[in-house]
Chains A and B, each alone.
Chain A
Amino acid sequence: DIQMTQSPSAMSASVGDRVTITCRASQDISTYFAWFQQKPGKVPKRLIYGASRLQSGVPSRFTGSGSGTEFTLTISSLQPEDFATYYCLQHRNYPYTFGQGTKLEI
């Protein structure tokens, strides 16, 4: 199975900060990769697909990059509504696997 390792597991930041979250795959997954955001009690929301493609309706301050085994999600200027938990997902091979999550706190 492909393991997805996210870092950090948690982080604190302030409104206006630039933030980067990293996800590493245990083997090459090309760009079969996505980022999700989840707020407490809410359904996960896909932000990025194909490693770097912005989901329609998602603000442009969210940027995804990477391919192969290393991926990053960058939020250029944190807004209050961005404080949430972020998950990466590989869908290159079954079983699909999520990262363990990164909790972004104020």
Chain B
Amino acid sequence: EVQLVESGGGLVKPGGSLRLSCAASGFSFSHYDLSWVRQAPGKGLEWVSAISSSGYSYYAGSVEGRFTISRDNAKNSVFLQMNSLRAEDTAVYYCARELGPDWGQGTLVTVSS
């Protein structure tokens, strides 16, 4: 069974940093692209970032230069380092395998003073 479990969310002040993790199991992790998708309270889905199986990274314009995605195939994990956080980054952050049927349950990030 495929499982994706996010962690690392929480409350952070504007300008602060947070590192999200997504631990995967049940599939050959190194063979797949992974994405982060977020959803602000009461809003729609927003694709944030992806990392390919070969390690190439991609970002939405709204986070380019502030967020960094990485992966550790030995630990079957993908990470999202979020710097210079803003109030508008407040959202539930989901990890997804290739934006297919397998998503984590999400972790809430709240940016507030």
Which A residues have a C-beta under 8 Å from some C-beta of B?
1, 34, 36, 38, 43-46, 49, 55-56, 85, 87, 89, 91, 94-101
| B59/A96 in contact, CB under 8 A | no
Q: A43-B104, A43-B106 are in contact. Are A95 and B61 (CB under 8 A)?
A: yes
A36 to B, closest residue via Cβ: B45
Given contacts A95-B58, A96-B99, 9 further A-B contacts (CB under 8 A): A43-B94, A44-B45, A46-B99, A87-B45, A96-B50, A98-B47, A100-B44, A101-B44, A101-B45
Q: Which parts of B48-106 form the interface with A (CB within 8 Å)?
A: 50, 58-61, 94, 99-101, 103-106
In the complex, A99→B45 CA distance in Å?
8
| A95/B103 in contact, CB under 8 A | no
Q: Which parts of B21-44 form the interface with A (CB within 8 Å)?
A: 35, 37, 44
In the complex, A44→B100 CA distance in Å?
10
B106 to A, closest residue via Cβ: A43
| Number of residues from B at the complex interface, CB < 8 A | 19
Chain B residues with Cβ below 8 Å from A34 are 99
B99's partner among A38, A91, A100, A101 (CB-CB below 8 A) is A91
A1's partner among B35, B61, B100 (CB-CB below 8 A) is B61
Most chain A CB neighbours (cut-off 10 Å) among B37, B44, B60, B104: B44
| B59/A95 in contact, CB under 8 A | yes
In the complex, A46→B102 CA distance in Å?
9
Q: A46-B100, A46-B101 are in contact. Are A97 and B106 (CB under 8 A)?
A: no
Q: List 29 interface pairs A-B (beta carbons < 8 Å), by A numbering.
A: A36-B45, A38-B45, A43-B94, A43-B103, A43-B104, A43-B105, A43-B106, A44-B37, A44-B94, A44-B103, A45-B101, A46-B99, A46-B100, A49-B100, A55-B101, A85-B44, A87-B44, A89-B45, A89-B47, A89-B99, A95-B59, A95-B60, A96-B35, A96-B47, A98-B37, A98-B46, A99-B44, A100-B44, A101-B45
